[in-house]
Amino acid sequence: MRHIISILLENESGALSRVAGLFSARGYNIESLTVAPTEDPSLSRMTLVTSGTDKVVEQIKKQLNKLIDVVKLVDLVENEHVEREISLIKVRAAGNLRDEVNRMVEIFRGRIVDVTDTSYTIELTGSCDKIDAFLKAVPNDTIIEVVRSGVLGIARGEKGLRL
């Protein structure tokens, strides 16, 4: 099963490599990983998407907690949560294609953020599924480049992951 683990960790150099190193050393999957400082500059927030059996995911959480730099973590899929991914997608758009791509962007509620005579760059935000669906919907040979941020997530309700 897919899990989204949100981690609050010390904003120290090397903290990211401790997490990444743990996953490679113990053979765990990482589907995506994002990290950036929080409103408290001494802390970073990491969102990590992984998958595995319950036993494996339990071990992942325990091993992450064992890292000295990890302050707190939560598995977002255990409760109601919101998840988002942002993507920037560059597609070929000339002639008839321009209208078609435009329509598609509207349907998926994306935005065109850069235009040339022959291409559009689209910003699209949503669940991973939504971005996957968009990439399937545009003709495959029109895609020039895709950049995805990896998943960000936050729990629903007033409680927050903080110190």
Partner 1 sequence: MELTGADIVVKALADEGVEYIFGYPGGAALHIYDALYRQDTVKHILARHEQGAGHAADGYARSCGKPGVVLVTSGPGATNVVTPVATAHMDSIPLVVITAQVPSHLIGDDAFQEVDSIGITRPCVKHNFLVKDVRDLATTIKKAFYVATSGRPGPVVIDIPKDITAEKAEYIYPKSLSMRSYQPVTQGHSGQIRKAVQVLLAAKRPVIYTGGGIILSDCSDKLAELVRLLGYPCTNTLMGLGAYPADDPLFLGMLGMHGTYEANLAMHECDVMLCIGARFDDRVTGDTNKFSPYAKIIHVDIDPSSISKTISADIPVVGPAGVILEEMISQIKDSGRKPDAEAMQKWWHQIDGWRKIDCLDYDRESELIKPQFVVEKLYEVTKGDAFVTSDVGQHQMFAAQYYKFSKPRRWINSGGLGTMGFGLPAAMGVQLAHPDETVACVTGEGSIQMCLQELSTCKQYDLPLNIVNLNNRYLGMVRQWQEFFYDRRYSHSYMDALPDLVKLAEGYGHIGIRIEKPADVEGALKEALSDKSRLYFLDFITDQTENVYPMIAAGKGHHEMHLSPRNNGDDEERELA
Neighbours of 73 (CB within 10 A): 19
- C-alpha to C-alpha distance for 117 and 109, rounded to whole angstroms: 22
- C-alpha to C-alpha distance for 118 and 115, rounded to whole angstroms: 8
Structure tokens belonging to residue 90: 């560059």
In the bound state with partner 1, the residue whose beta carbon lies nearer, of 21 and 139, is 21
In the bound state with partner 1, the residue whose beta carbon lies nearer, of 95 and 160, is 160
Least Å from the CB of residue 52 to partner 1: 14
In the bound state with partner 1, the residue whose beta carbon lies nearer, of 52 and 104, is 52
Least Å from the CB of residue 129 to partner 1: 32
Least Å from the CB of residue 20 to partner 1: 10
Structure tokens belonging to residue 113: 């953020």
In the bound state with partner 1, the residue whose beta carbon lies nearer, of 68 and 113, is 68
For partner 1, the binding residues (CB under 8 A) are 9-10, 13-14, 17-18, 21, 25, 55, 58-59, 62-63, 65-66, 68-71, 163
Backbone phi, psi, residue 24, to 5°? -75, -40
Q: Kind and range of the H or E element at 83?
A: strand 81-92
